[in-house]
Amino acid sequence: MEHQDRFWDANTDELKKGYTFNGEQYSCLVCGKSFKKGFIYKWTDDLLMEAERAVKQHITDEHGTMLDYLLSMNKKYTGLTDVQRTILSCFKEGQTDKEIAKQLDLGSTSTIRTHRFKLKEKEKQAKVFLAVMELLKQTNTDQKDDLVQIHKGATQVDERYAITTKEREKVLNTYFKKGVDGPLTQFPSKEKRKIIVLQQIIRRFEPERKYSEMEVNEVLKPIIDDFVTVRRYLIEYGFLDRSKDCSEYWVKK
Protein backbone atom coordinates (compact mmCIF):
# COMPACT_ATOMS: atom_id res chain seq x y z
CA MET A 1 0.00 0.00 0.00
CA GLU A 2 1.14 3.52 -0.81
CA HIS A 3 0.70 4.83 2.74
CA GLN A 4 2.70 1.89 4.14
CA ASP A 5 5.52 2.68 1.72
CA ARG A 6 5.33 6.27 2.92
CA PHE A 7 5.60 5.10 6.54
CA TRP A 8 8.80 3.15 5.92
CA ASP A 9 10.30 5.92 3.76
CA ALA A 10 9.69 8.54 6.45
CA ASN A 11 12.62 10.02 8.34
CA THR A 12 12.86 10.13 12.13
CA ASP A 13 11.32 13.60 12.47
CA GLU A 14 8.35 12.57 10.30
CA LEU A 15 7.82 9.40 12.33
CA LYS A 16 7.76 11.47 15.52
CA LYS A 17 5.19 13.87 14.04
CA GLY A 18 3.17 11.10 12.42
CA TYR A 19 2.75 12.74 9.05
CA THR A 20 4.59 13.80 5.90
CA PHE A 21 4.24 16.81 3.61
CA ASN A 22 4.98 16.57 -0.12
CA GLY A 23 4.44 20.21 -0.95
CA GLU A 24 0.77 19.73 -1.74
CA GLN A 25 -0.73 17.66 1.06
CA TYR A 26 -0.14 16.42 4.59
CA SER A 27 -0.51 12.63 4.90
CA CYS A 28 -0.98 10.55 8.05
CA LEU A 29 1.72 7.89 8.29
CA VAL A 30 -0.55 5.50 10.17
CA CYS A 31 -3.56 5.28 7.87
CA GLY A 32 -2.67 7.40 4.84
CA LYS A 33 -5.45 9.98 5.21
CA SER A 34 -4.43 13.22 3.48
CA PHE A 35 -5.24 16.90 3.93
CA LYS A 36 -4.57 19.33 1.08
CA LYS A 37 -2.58 22.48 1.77
CA GLY A 38 -4.70 25.60 1.39
CA PHE A 39 -7.95 23.81 2.25
CA ILE A 40 -9.95 24.49 5.41
CA TYR A 41 -11.47 21.48 7.14
CA LYS A 42 -14.61 21.54 9.27
CA TRP A 43 -13.80 19.53 12.39
CA THR A 44 -16.83 20.22 14.52
CA ASP A 45 -19.82 22.52 14.12
CA ASP A 46 -17.84 25.43 15.52
CA LEU A 47 -14.26 24.45 14.71
CA LEU A 48 -12.41 24.93 11.41
CA MET A 49 -8.81 23.87 10.79
CA GLU A 50 -6.18 24.43 8.15
CA ALA A 51 -4.56 21.31 6.68
CA GLU A 52 -1.53 20.84 8.94
CA ARG A 53 -3.53 21.39 12.12
CA ALA A 54 -6.19 19.00 10.76
CA VAL A 55 -3.71 16.16 10.19
CA LYS A 56 -2.31 16.65 13.70
CA GLN A 57 -5.81 16.55 15.20
CA HIS A 58 -6.67 13.50 13.08
CA ILE A 59 -3.65 11.63 14.46
CA THR A 60 -4.60 12.50 18.04
CA ASP A 61 -8.26 11.59 17.58
CA GLU A 62 -7.77 8.40 15.59
CA HIS A 63 -4.37 7.02 16.64
CA GLY A 64 -3.42 8.64 19.96
CA THR A 65 0.18 9.78 20.43
CA MET A 66 2.85 8.62 18.00
CA LEU A 67 4.90 7.35 20.94
CA ASP A 68 2.07 5.04 21.95
CA TYR A 69 1.53 3.95 18.34
CA LEU A 70 5.21 3.19 17.72
CA LEU A 71 5.50 1.31 21.00
CA SER A 72 2.46 -0.77 20.06
CA MET A 73 4.06 -1.97 16.83
CA ASN A 74 5.20 -5.56 16.54
CA LYS A 75 8.60 -6.29 18.10
CA LYS A 76 9.93 -7.32 14.69
CA TYR A 77 9.79 -3.61 13.76
CA THR A 78 10.78 -2.00 17.06
CA GLY A 79 13.40 -4.51 18.16
CA LEU A 80 12.05 -4.11 21.70
CA THR A 81 11.28 -6.93 24.10
CA ASP A 82 7.93 -6.92 25.89
CA VAL A 83 9.65 -5.85 29.11
CA GLN A 84 11.51 -3.01 27.39
CA ARG A 85 8.31 -1.78 25.78
CA THR A 86 6.51 -1.80 29.14
CA ILE A 87 9.38 0.03 30.84
CA LEU A 88 9.40 2.70 28.13
CA SER A 89 5.66 3.18 28.61
CA CYS A 90 6.32 3.63 32.34
CA PHE A 91 9.04 6.20 31.57
CA LYS A 92 6.49 8.06 29.43
CA GLU A 93 4.10 8.19 32.38
CA GLY A 94 6.83 9.63 34.60
CA GLN A 95 7.06 6.71 36.99
CA THR A 96 10.13 6.37 39.19
CA ASP A 97 12.46 3.38 39.03
CA LYS A 98 11.05 2.19 42.35
CA GLU A 99 7.47 2.38 41.08
CA ILE A 100 8.35 0.55 37.87
CA ALA A 101 10.23 -2.20 39.72
CA LYS A 102 7.24 -2.73 42.02
CA GLN A 103 4.73 -2.73 39.14
CA LEU A 104 6.71 -5.25 37.10
CA ASP A 105 7.78 -7.29 40.12
CA LEU A 106 11.43 -6.93 39.13
CA GLY A 107 12.84 -6.71 42.63
CA SER A 108 15.28 -3.84 43.08
CA THR A 109 15.59 -0.52 41.28
CA SER A 110 19.03 -1.60 40.06
CA THR A 111 17.26 -3.85 37.54
CA ILE A 112 15.47 -0.81 36.08
CA ARG A 113 18.75 1.13 35.97
CA THR A 114 20.26 -1.78 34.01
CA HIS A 115 17.39 -1.57 31.55
CA ARG A 116 17.92 2.20 31.23
CA PHE A 117 21.58 1.59 30.40
CA LYS A 118 20.75 -1.07 27.80
CA LEU A 119 18.17 1.19 26.16
CA LYS A 120 20.70 4.04 25.96
CA GLU A 121 23.19 1.68 24.35
CA LYS A 122 20.49 0.58 21.90
CA GLU A 123 19.85 4.24 21.04
CA LYS A 124 23.56 4.80 20.29
CA GLN A 125 23.67 1.69 18.09
CA ALA A 126 20.54 2.81 16.23
CA LYS A 127 22.07 6.20 15.42
CA VAL A 128 25.23 4.62 14.04
CA PHE A 129 23.22 2.06 12.06
CA LEU A 130 21.03 4.79 10.52
CA ALA A 131 24.12 6.74 9.51
CA VAL A 132 25.65 3.62 7.94
CA MET A 133 22.48 2.90 5.94
CA GLU A 134 22.19 6.52 4.75
CA LEU A 135 25.80 6.48 3.58
CA LEU A 136 25.23 3.15 1.88
CA LYS A 137 22.26 4.58 -0.02
CA GLN A 138 24.45 7.43 -1.27
CA THR A 139 26.98 4.98 -2.71
CA ASN A 140 24.40 2.56 -4.15
CA THR A 141 23.89 3.50 -7.79
CA ASP A 142 21.85 0.39 -8.68
CA GLN A 143 18.44 1.36 -7.35
CA LYS A 144 16.91 -1.72 -8.98
CA ASP A 145 18.38 -3.81 -6.17
CA ASP A 146 16.61 -1.85 -3.42
CA LEU A 147 14.52 -4.10 -1.20
CA VAL A 148 10.76 -3.75 -1.34
CA GLN A 149 9.25 -2.57 1.95
CA ILE A 150 7.53 -5.21 4.06
CA HIS A 151 3.88 -4.45 4.86
CA LYS A 152 3.24 -3.68 8.53
CA GLY A 153 0.74 -6.50 8.93
CA ALA A 154 3.19 -9.23 7.91
CA THR A 155 2.60 -12.19 10.20
CA GLN A 156 6.04 -13.77 9.85
CA VAL A 157 9.04 -11.93 8.45
CA ASP A 158 11.72 -14.17 6.96
CA GLU A 159 13.75 -14.67 3.78
CA ARG A 160 10.55 -14.72 1.71
CA TYR A 161 10.39 -10.95 2.13
CA ALA A 162 13.91 -10.33 0.80
CA ILE A 163 12.46 -8.98 -2.44
CA THR A 164 14.26 -6.48 -4.66
CA THR A 165 12.42 -4.02 -6.89
CA LYS A 166 13.89 -5.83 -9.89
CA GLU A 167 12.49 -9.18 -8.71
CA ARG A 168 9.13 -7.58 -8.06
CA GLU A 169 8.88 -6.08 -11.54
CA LYS A 170 9.78 -9.39 -13.14
CA VAL A 171 7.16 -11.33 -11.15
CA LEU A 172 4.42 -8.78 -11.79
CA ASN A 173 5.15 -8.77 -15.52
CA THR A 174 4.96 -12.57 -15.49
CA TYR A 175 1.65 -12.92 -13.64
CA PHE A 176 -0.13 -9.75 -14.79
CA LYS A 177 0.27 -10.03 -18.55
CA LYS A 178 -2.21 -7.20 -19.18
CA GLY A 179 -0.71 -4.89 -16.56
CA VAL A 180 -1.05 -4.75 -12.79
CA ASP A 181 -4.61 -3.41 -13.03
CA GLY A 182 -5.66 -6.44 -15.07
CA PRO A 183 -6.34 -10.09 -14.21
CA LEU A 184 -3.83 -12.69 -13.05
CA THR A 185 -2.77 -15.33 -15.55
CA GLN A 186 -2.50 -17.71 -12.58
CA PHE A 187 -1.79 -17.52 -8.86
CA PRO A 188 1.83 -18.42 -8.04
CA SER A 189 2.69 -21.36 -5.80
CA LYS A 190 6.17 -20.22 -4.71
CA GLU A 191 6.09 -18.22 -1.50
CA LYS A 192 8.10 -15.17 -2.57
CA ARG A 193 6.10 -14.78 -5.79
CA LYS A 194 2.87 -15.24 -3.84
CA ILE A 195 3.80 -12.38 -1.50
CA ILE A 196 4.69 -10.10 -4.42
CA VAL A 197 1.33 -10.76 -6.08
CA LEU A 198 -0.57 -10.23 -2.82
CA GLN A 199 1.31 -6.96 -2.26
CA GLN A 200 -0.02 -5.79 -5.59
CA ILE A 201 -3.58 -7.04 -5.10
CA ILE A 202 -4.01 -5.27 -1.74
CA ARG A 203 -3.44 -1.96 -3.53
CA ARG A 204 -6.93 -2.33 -4.99
CA PHE A 205 -8.47 -1.88 -1.55
CA GLU A 206 -9.07 1.52 0.07
CA PRO A 207 -7.15 1.75 3.37
CA GLU A 208 -9.88 3.66 5.24
CA ARG A 209 -12.84 1.58 4.11
CA LYS A 210 -14.68 -1.30 5.79
CA TYR A 211 -15.76 -4.03 3.33
CA SER A 212 -18.36 -6.76 3.57
CA GLU A 213 -17.31 -10.23 2.43
CA MET A 214 -19.33 -9.72 -0.74
CA GLU A 215 -17.56 -6.43 -1.44
CA VAL A 216 -14.16 -8.07 -0.94
CA ASN A 217 -15.19 -10.76 -3.41
CA GLU A 218 -16.28 -8.11 -5.94
CA VAL A 219 -12.81 -6.54 -5.79
CA LEU A 220 -11.13 -9.92 -6.28
CA LYS A 221 -13.38 -11.47 -8.95
CA PRO A 222 -11.90 -9.46 -11.87
CA ILE A 223 -8.44 -10.61 -10.79
CA ILE A 224 -8.90 -14.37 -10.55
CA ASP A 225 -11.67 -16.98 -10.62
CA ASP A 226 -10.55 -18.58 -7.36
CA PHE A 227 -11.09 -15.36 -5.41
CA VAL A 228 -11.96 -17.27 -2.21
CA THR A 229 -8.43 -18.67 -1.97
CA VAL A 230 -6.89 -15.25 -2.63
CA ARG A 231 -9.11 -13.70 0.04
CA ARG A 232 -7.90 -16.33 2.50
CA TYR A 233 -4.26 -15.63 1.60
CA LEU A 234 -4.75 -11.87 2.07
CA ILE A 235 -5.86 -12.57 5.65
CA GLU A 236 -3.30 -15.30 6.31
CA TYR A 237 -0.38 -13.12 5.20
CA GLY A 238 -1.57 -10.07 7.15
CA PHE A 239 -2.77 -7.86 4.31
CA LEU A 240 -6.43 -7.89 5.34
CA ASP A 241 -8.03 -8.17 8.75
CA ARG A 242 -11.62 -9.06 9.59
CA SER A 243 -14.11 -9.05 12.45
CA LYS A 244 -14.77 -12.25 14.40
CA ASP A 245 -18.09 -12.79 12.68
CA CYS A 246 -16.52 -12.11 9.25
CA SER A 247 -19.03 -9.34 8.59
CA GLU A 248 -16.35 -6.68 8.03
CA TYR A 249 -12.95 -6.68 6.32
CA TRP A 250 -10.34 -3.92 6.19
CA VAL A 251 -6.74 -3.30 5.16
CA LYS A 252 -4.51 -4.23 8.05
CA LYS A 253 -2.38 -1.34 9.34
Structural Rg of the chain based on CA atoms: 21
Mean pLDDT of 210-217: 95
Same domain, yes or no: 50 and 87: no
Residue 145 lies in a domain: no
Q: How far apart are CA 27 and CA 19, in angstroms?
A: 5
Same domain, yes or no: 170 and 247: yes
- What is the longest distance spanned by two Cα atoms in the chain? 65
Report residue 144's pLDDT band, with 50, 70 and 90 as the boundaries.
very low
Q: Which domain holds residue 58?
A: 2-69
pTM of the model: 0.61
**pLDDT digit string, tens, across residues 3-30:** 567 888 888 999 999 999 999 999 999 9
Residue 148 lies in a domain: no
Partners of 250 in the beta sheet?
241
Residue 38 lies in a domain: yes
Please say if the pLDDT value at position 179 is more than 60. Answer: yes
SS3 (DSSP) at 95? coil
Query: In total, how many domains does the chain have?
Result: 3
Residue 154 lies in a domain: no
Same domain, yes or no: 170 and 229: yes
